[in-house]
Structure 1
Amino acid sequence: MEFGDKIKELRTKNQLTQEKFAIRLNVTRQAVSNWENNRNLPDLELLILISTIFHISLDELILGGNNVNNMTEKLIKDGSKTRRAKLNMVTTLIGAFLLIFGFACIFIKANSVEYVDASGTLHENFYLLPIGFLFIFAGMIVFLVTGIKFINDSFRSKK
């Protein structure tokens, strides 16, 4: 059973008009009509309120049985978008950290003092340059891969 059919069935079973049902949910009658005609879907807060009003579990309201309906597909899609956004944020933070650390290594190398001690040993922190460039390169790669993945996902979602 589709989500809209389930909402309409529950509303008529409880002898509520679309207007009365909309008032109880603090939405417009058009919103209820759109839900019943599967043109639009309510958000999670409204789903919880609907399940409370009709004394029905969220599983039964959303899934409506064993078949996957529009509401289930929407929830799955929203969950994957949230995971993707979190992944993008984490990789962006990692890339920024790598770039900052790389520039810090180069800055420290540029401002450090090189000297020869009394025994003739040269004291130089030469290792900071390759490490700095390595971190800058890694940060740029992370940003590049994240950007390409984001653009690829944007084109896929438009299709």
Structure 2
Amino acid sequence: MTRLVAVVALCALGACSDMSDQPKQRTYSPLVGPAQTPPDVVSFLYSEPTAPPLTLALIERGQQRFRIFCTPCHSELGNGQGMIVQRGFPEPPSYYVERLLKAPTLYFVDVIAKGHGTMYSYASRVPPADRWAIAAYIRALQKSQNASAEDLAGAKTEAAP
């Protein structure tokens, strides 16, 4: 019986080959040129995601979702000093650093969906509409911390009875 098992094992191992030594064309070969697309291949239809219209309801929804999902790390202010940071976890970047002030809104939506650095993906937790709402709220936070005197004066005259 053991001989039979040994023979079967040897036959199985003999059937294996080095798969790295197979004839294939690289994506681009200088001798042949670019690889040809096989016939009947349908290209992937991709369209750039579009932001919903910016409304007060969207920002309020974003604030609610931000408080649920983002404040443990980013804090209510978005300065990266959330509760888990105070307990020794890595500090996320503040939303007020130059790089994030200049980043497009789609960047925040993508980071929520895909994760970045030590932040894992929230794609399974935050639906796409809420990602846009959170990103809109992040923009509102950024503007609130960097508002000029003219911005505040305009807000006072609009809010005056």
State the TM bucket, normalised to the shorter chain. Answer: under 0.3
- Highest CA radius of gyration, 1 or 2? 1
Using structure 2 for the length normalisation, give the TM-score. Answer: 0.24
